[in-house]
Amino acid sequence: MSSFAKTRMNLRKILSKEITVSSELNKDLKLFNVHHSAIKKSDDFDFYFPDDTKNFTLFKKGEKIYHDLGKDYIADIDMRVIFPIKMSL
């Protein structure tokens, strides 16, 4: 079972009151901090990595991540990239 499928199943159980939120549900939860947000500010914006790069791909300190407004954003720490989910209604 994928980790998102497990999350979906647990959310359904919580919403239907089959289970209550407890530390048991949170034991495998991994927390992340947002270090930097890449927000497009010009038509010059582009990533330095391929379009098929997967979420949580590791970028090492010193790697170029993107450029915009004539400047490069270079990772100042080891970091992972996370993309927003495109949802269709």
Residue that has been written with the tokens 């038509």 in this structure: 43
Give the mean pLDDT of 17-30.
68
**pLDDT at residue number 12:** 82
Beta carbons of 64 and 83 less than 8 angstroms apart: no
**pLDDT at residue number 89:** 47
Whole-structure pTM over 0.75, yes or no? no
**pLDDT at residue number 49:** 93
Residue 46 DSSP SS3: strand
Distance CA 70, CA 42 (A): 9
pLDDT of 84 over the 80 cut: no
| Both structure tokens of 31 | 């927390």
pLDDT top residue among 5 and 4: 5
pLDDT tens by residue, 65-78: 999 999 999 999 99
Pick the range with the lowest mean pLDDT from 5-14, 18-27, 28-37, 73-82. Answer: 18-27
